[in-house]
Structure 1
Amino acid sequence: MAFADHLARVSGSYNLPSILFCSMSDPLAQLASFLARAERLLDRLEPLLPPAERVPDWSAAHAFRWRSANGSGYLQAIRRLPQIRLADLRDIDEQKARLESNTRQFIAGLPANNVLLTGARGSGKSSLIKALLNEYARQGLRVIEVEKAELTDLPQIVELLDERPERFIIFCDDLSFESGDARYKALKVVLDGSFAAAPENVLIYATSNRRHLMPEYFAENLESRRVGEEIHPGEAVEEKISLSERFGLWISFYPFDQEAYLDIVAHWLRSFGCRPDEVAGSERAALNFAVERGSRSGRVAWQFARDWAGHQQSRGASAAPVLPASSSKRARSRS
């Protein structure tokens, strides 16, 4: 009876008894009328039904991006990945070794930690995760990229990955939260805050410019109290620290000095096909480029190398002699 009342409310002006108990004087006409009314009724009921789940094609890619709309989400394959290698990441050997070791443990089914990579912008945090995927995709490693705006979908994403044979890293790039942002609670629950255990084939790797992921204000330190010789932070500070503490491994990245910056520039220039003399002649321009950008980061070094190599190759191409069509034909005939 309750279901019939619900249908009556949804159907609005439709007379359900007339639909369900039509007369048989003209069976075909009544049947056509019934089907038309039923179709209109189903159209009105459709928004109340849960959306159909989109099953991802796991063979389509090694990396996926979570997309959500209208209350439902799905995994979108990322078919073109940056072809960056671990060997391309210079002067972060310690950070690279720690993250690679944790990832190798994870792939092998051994205990491994969720990881928070923090520090200077452009120092290789995100590139390191991309390089690890390129290195270990054949061994079953996969990456799911989740934007901050969609962190509330993390429980749904984790459930989707459960019982898959692959090993998944959920990648949250440039992660930080403002005061009052409730999305960090969804991340806390997935990391370590729910009775439901996280699947063994899922880890979270996040990058951030902040160690504690949330802004800290001077006034919050006034809540701290002294107990004997110990200082106990206030509740606001404890809440902010509690999120980053749920990452078992913290890896810090630091700004590059001039020597490291020039080493990265030289590496990328060689990879772009520059000659040794072109690499040696680029140092002053590379330093000026860094001053203009206000940073000696790995990203700035890569951007300079692309600019410099492009100019050198363009200059070489314009200097090469171009034979007229008739001359080139005579040259081929003589050969």
Structure 2
Amino acid sequence: MPTQAPDISTLLDRIAGALERLAPPPSPAVDWLCAPAYVWSASGVRPIARLEAPALDLLQGIDNQKARVVTNVQRLAAGHAAHDMLLWGSRGMGKSALLRAAIREAQIDAPGAIALVQVGQDALAGVSELFADLGRENRRFLVFIDDLGFEEGDLSGPRLLRSWLEGGVEARPANVRLAVTANRRAIVSRSMTEQDDPINARDAVDDKLALADRFGLSIGFHNCSQDDYLAIIGGYASALGLAWDAADALEWAQRRGARSGRVAWQYIAELAGRAGVAL
């Protein structure tokens, strides 16, 4: 006996059901008031239950930079006028650690008043949407872009960031400020010069150099001296109860080929490992 074909309405119901099973579930609404920090990436937003940051007094050798960043973050947390910040300079000198530590300190002083939102490089195109979301919340936010850099010939990225910082129709709302870390103040490749391309290199350089001028605070971080390096180690070692030797610490830096806060912390990790202590 021949099988009866399903009617058209039944067939459409089956197709609709199959499509619903294939489609991803809708993303849950983000609670921008529940967490001390968030990560915004191309795949969505993720709340961070605990903001990991060193204590401010352990960040040695950057006293001037620390005072300026902490003061600005406290102003933002209090709802006062605050600057966008560009933290630039030597690798491993505590730029991102200082931002996290300043936010955590502000959260201790005023719980719930401010949150850190770190934006991945893959999500820069969606920052306008992020700003719109944050602008509707009764909370202050520091949007953080770590280790910012642009590809050679990229003019749209610098111009987009510049429009967020100053006056464009997609500028960030009053309760949001930007903090960017970069290895160079100009956020431009060392290999780019006006002579690289006689047609548009000047425009490319100007666009990237102009970014630094849009930040109310542009704070440089430089290679630390030997004394600063040893002071950083001394601060960490004292806080953790670790014995250390200056000559050994200097040899460690010599083998690493650098003196910085990062190298100092790596030496502390080595000391903790030798002592059988967990960090």
Confirm or deny that 1:87 pairs with 2:35: no
The CA deviation at 1:284 is 0.9
Of 68, 72, 77 in structure 2, the residue corresponding to residue 98 of structure 1 is: 68
Matches within 5 A, 1:125-164: 125-137=95-107, 138=111, 140-164=113-137
Confirm or deny that 1:295 pairs with 2:268: no
C-alpha distance in 1 between matches for 2:142 and 2:105: 14
Matches within 5 A, 1:209-228: 209-217=183-191, 219-220=193-194
Confirm or deny that 1:254 pairs with 2:222: yes
Counterpart of 2:149? Answer: 176
Confirm or deny that 1:263 pairs with 2:263: no
Residue pair 2:149, 2:188 contacting (<8 A) in 1 also: yes
Of 159, 163, 167 in structure 1, the residue corresponding to residue 140 of structure 2 is: 167
**Consecutive unaligned residues in structure 2, runs of 5 or more:** none
SS of the aligned residue for 1:145 comes to strand
Q: Identify the structure with bigger relative contact order (alpha carbons < 8 Å, sequence gap 6+).
A: 2
The CA deviation at 1:253 is 0.6
C-alpha distance in 2 between matches for 1:270 and 1:310: 16
The CA deviation at 1:235 is 2.9
1:248-274 residue CA offsets vs partner (Å, 9 max, x unmatched): 210001111111111111111112212
Cα 1:283/1:176, change in 2 over 3 Å:
same
SS of the aligned residue for 1:252 comes to strand
Cα 1:81/1:35, change in 2 over 3 Å:
same
Higher radius of gyration, 1 or 2: 1
1:167-226 residue CA offsets vs partner (Å, 9 max, x unmatched): 1011111111122234333322222251344211101101000111121546406999xx
SS of the aligned residue for 1:242 comes to helix
Counterpart of 1:111? Answer: 81
Question: Higher helix share goes to which structure?
Answer: 1
SS of the aligned residue for 2:194 comes to helix
Residue pair 1:221, 1:237 contacting (<8 A) in 2 also: no
C-alpha distance in 1 between matches for 2:38 and 2:113: 14
Residue pair 1:256, 1:296 contacting (<8 A) in 2 also: yes
Amino acid at match of 1:57: D
SS of the aligned residue for 1:220 comes to coil
Amino acid at match of 1:236: A
**Consecutive unaligned residues in structure 1, runs of 5 or more:** 1-28, 225-232, 315-335
SS of the aligned residue for 1:203 comes to strand
Q: Would you say how many aligned residue pairs link Structure 1 and Structure 2?
A: 268
Identity of aligned residues (%): 33
Cα 1:297/1:200, change in 2 over 3 Å:
same
Counterpart of 1:38? Answer: 13
Please report the RMSD computed on the Cα atoms of aligned residues, expressed in angstroms: 2.9
1:225-250 residue CA offsets vs partner (Å, 9 max, x unmatched): xxxxxxxx943332221222221210
Residue pair 1:89, 1:128 contacting (<8 A) in 2 also: yes
Cα 1:284/1:156, change in 2 over 3 Å:
same
Residue pair 1:143, 1:168 contacting (<8 A) in 2 also: yes
Of 194, 198, 207 in structure 2, the residue corresponding to residue 239 of structure 1 is: 207
SS of the aligned residue for 2:96 comes to helix
The CA deviation at 1:88 is 1.2
C-alpha distance in 2 between matches for 1:218 and 1:167: 37
Amino acid at match of 1:152: A
C-alpha distance in 2 between matches for 1:218 and 1:205: 25
